[in-house]
Amino acid sequence: MRSRHLTERKEITLIKDGERLDDLELSNLRIIQNPDKFCFGMDAVLLSGFVAVKQGSRVLDLCTGTGIIPLLLSAKTPAKEITGLEIQEESADMAARSVELNGLNEKIKIVTGDVCEASKLFGKGTFDAVTVNPPYMTGGHGIANPSDTKAVARHEILCTLDDVLRESAAVLKPNGHLFMVHRPFRIAEIIAGMLKYRLEPKRMRLVYPYVTSEPNMVLIEAVKGGRARVTVEKPLIVWKEKDVYSDELKEKYGY
């Protein structure tokens, strides 16, 4: 009873006005989010399931937002240390409080900083793997408020795809792995950018909302300095029918 009261008191202390506490339904993990700002989506969940790292790996998550990917990776992978880098202070603060709430301070570190300066912040060749769910849309055309949290998360306002790929290559060790989720309409640009920084695409999987629809996400793994050979995995279908997840989503992701 006392333990439950202490937990509830800690939750009250860590959660601020306008925020909510969401159950990730994995290893008792929970995350603090503000629905008026930006909440994680299916892309982050799918990326966490696409990542494969070795025991004891050091992982850097770029554009970490409220820390969803580091939290999921802490339960899904044998990584020893996971660092989340986020430029927006409010999001980074929520991520840090979620880490504390879950008792993961020794495994996950949240850093407030610019993706464009990742190699200066952490040094070159310091991570075994990089994960990133970057802004998908180019430029800020039509955005009423470029400083808006949602706009920054969705549009290349504070960093570009080239920035992400350049800094990923810089912080990775030789043969280190980059795992990215992005939009299919930018596949050519993604692959060209990877090759520019000696990140060799090794594995790719397209994600389809329904079996009859066009893909709306692509999962890509690249290896720093790897040999030229890419495996295209079978499509991942999210929905079997309206409001019914596919069998793979249910089995692999617990939906």
C-alpha count within 13 angstroms, C-beta hemisphere, residue 208: 14
Q: What is the distance between the alpha carbons of residues 98 and 211, in angstroms, rounded to a whole number?
A: 35
DSSP at 225:
T
Task: Return all residues near 16 (Cβ < 8 A) that are at least 6 apart.
Answer: none
Indicate the domain borders of the chain: 38-253
* Residues pairing with 132 in the sheet: 62, 180
Write down the pLDDT at residue 154.
62
Right CATH number for 38-253 from 3.40.50.620, 3.40.449.10, 3.40.50.2000, 3.40.50.150? Answer: 3.40.50.150
Q: What is the pLDDT along the chain (255 residues), one digit of tens a residue?
A: 444 444 555 565 789 888 999 999 999 999 999 988 888 999 999 999 999 999 999 999 999 999 999 999 999 999 999 999 999 999 999 999 999 999 999 999 999 999 999 999 999 999 999 999 998 667 654 454 455 665 555 655 678 999 999 999 999 999 999 999 999 999 999 999 999 999 999 999 999 999 999 999 999 999 999 999 999 999 999 999 988 999 998 887 765
- How far apart, in whole angstroms, are the C-alpha atoms of residue 155 and residue 17? 27
- pLDDT, residue 156, reads 52
Q: Distance between CA 37 and CA 147 in Å, rounded?
A: 12
Closest CA to 231 of 203, 198, 191: 203
Pairing of strands 199-208, 231-232: parallel
100 within 8 A of 107, measured Cβ to Cβ: no
**CA–CA separation, 223 vs 233, rounded Å?**
17
